[in-house]
């Protein structure tokens, strides 16, 4: 298939940047979106041009490293990660616009690569448990109802890719932060630091400059791991409950 790629090129963090158009021919429909970029980059390298920089790692849809805002949607037209998006999702002759995630908290480093370390700092502020959880325990040894375990696991499937921030009209990180708060709040191992965790992670989220939630639901609709909006409601309960009852003055 033949496609026209409109790609955001930006030399570095200081550069203003702009779109550049590339025509690609003989693209296989079986290629993943990132493989299509590999083809483009090989071509650019042969021509002595700077290849397009983009983030990727596992290419199995589990690491959360790939990003890309494709035709107005994070991770493109399918509700999956960019690495699991295939060229068969596009038609011959399509123009595909590829942009980096846009958020103050995610500054563009080069081309399509953004710095998502704001998420790391949110995790460092409280997204952990300080108790030793040991090896895999025998079944039913820890009193966790199946429903609670399922809910915690649903929240924990968040891979921290940042599609929620990219999709949100306010560049809000609430879906990410709420998933990370919920996954621990639902399990007994997370109880010790439960209140402090909610307080600190929300404070760090604000300090990073993410926007507020308008409950549009765009984050959840675009999340490759289908993280639910119920987590945001839970975060609100956790945060205000903690603020009212914790001994952190």
Partner 1 sequence: MSWFSDTISSTLGRKVLMALTGLFLIIFLLVHLIGNFQLLHADDGQAFNIYAKFMTSNPIIKTTSYLLYATFIIHIVWAILLSVQNKKARPVGYAVSAAATNSSWSSRNMGILGTIVFIFLVLHLKHFWYEMHWGGIPTVMYDGVEFKDLYAVVNMAYGELWYVVFYVLAMGGLMFHLYHGFQSAFQTLGLNHPKYTPVIKGVGIVYSIAVPAAFAAIPLIMFLRTI
3-class state of residue 88 by DSSP: helix
| Nearest-approach distance from CB 169 to partner 1, in angstroms | 6
Q: How many Å apart are CA 107 and CA 208, to the nearest integer?
A: 11
d(CA 239, CA 126): 13
Q: Tokens 């399990």, residue?
A: 187
Compare residues 28 and 91 and give the one whose CB is closer to partner 1: 91
| 3-state secondary structure (DSSP) of residue 222 | helix
Min separation Cβ 221 and partner 1, Å: 4
3-state secondary structure 150-175: HHHHHHHCCCCCCHHHHHCCCCCCHH
H/E stretch holding 233: helix 230-245
Nearer to partner 1 by C-beta: 45 or 212?
212
Q: How far is the CB of 233 from partner 1 (least distance, A)?
A: 3
Note whether 9 and 18 are within 8 A (CB): yes
Task: Select 41 or 97, whichever has its Cβ closest to partner 1.
Answer: 97
64's tokens: 């959360």
Question: Interface residues with partner 1 (CB under 8 A)?
Answer: 6, 19, 69, 71-73, 97, 99, 102-105, 167, 169-172, 202-203, 205-206, 209-218, 221-222, 229-230, 232-237, 239-240, 243, 248-249
User: Three-state SS for 205?
Assistant: helix
For residue 122, the minimal CB distance to partner 1 (Å) is 13
CA distance 38 to 22: 13
Q: What's the min distance (Å) between Cβ of 144 and partner 1?
A: 19
What value, to the nearest 5°, has the Cα angle with vertex 32 and ends 27 and 36? 45
User: Between vectors from CA 18 to CA 114 and to CA 8, what angle results, nearest 5°?
Assistant: 45
Toward partner 1, which CB reaches closer, 140 or 248? 248
* Rounded least distance, CB 139 to partner 1, Å: 27
Closer CB to partner 1, residue 97 or residue 189? 97
99/111 with CB nearer partner 1 = 99
Q: Tell me how far apart the alpha carbons of residues 245 and 240 are, in angstroms, rounded to a whole number.
A: 8
Residue number with CB closer to partner 1 (65 or 105): 105
- Least Å distance, CB 202 to partner 1, is 6
């Amino acid at each position: 298939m033949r496609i026209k790629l409109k790609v955001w090129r930006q030399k570095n963090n200081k550069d203003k940047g702009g779109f550049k158009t590339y025509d690609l021919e003989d693209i296989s429909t079986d290629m993943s979106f990132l493989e299509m970029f590999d083809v483009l980059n090989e071509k650019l390298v042969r021509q002595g041009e700077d290849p397009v920089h983009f983030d990727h790692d596992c290419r199995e849809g589990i690491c959360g490293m790939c990003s890309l805002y494709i035709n107005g949607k994070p991770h493109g037209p399918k509700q999956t990660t960019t690495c699991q998006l295939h060229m068969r999702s596009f038609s011959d002759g399509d123009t595909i616009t590829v942009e980096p995630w846009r958020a103050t908290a995610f500054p563009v480093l080069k081309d399509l690569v953004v710095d998502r370390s704001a998420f790391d700092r949110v995790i460092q502020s409280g997204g952990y448990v300080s108790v030793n959880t040991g090896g895999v325990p025998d079944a039913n040894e820890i009193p966790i109802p199946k429903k609670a375990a399922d809910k915690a696991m649903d929240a924990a499937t968040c891979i921290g890719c940042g599609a929620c921030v990219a999709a949100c009209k306010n560049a809000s990180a609430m879906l990410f932060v709420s998933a990370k708060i919920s996954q621990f709040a639902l399990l007994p191992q997370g109880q010790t630091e439960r209140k402090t965790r909610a307080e600190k992670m929300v404070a760090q989220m604000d300090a990073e400059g993410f926007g507020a939630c308008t409950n549009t639901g765009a984050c959840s609709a675009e999340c490759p791991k289908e993280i639910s909006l119920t987590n945001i409601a839970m975060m609100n309960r956790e945060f205000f409950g903690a603020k009212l009852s914790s001994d952190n003055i």
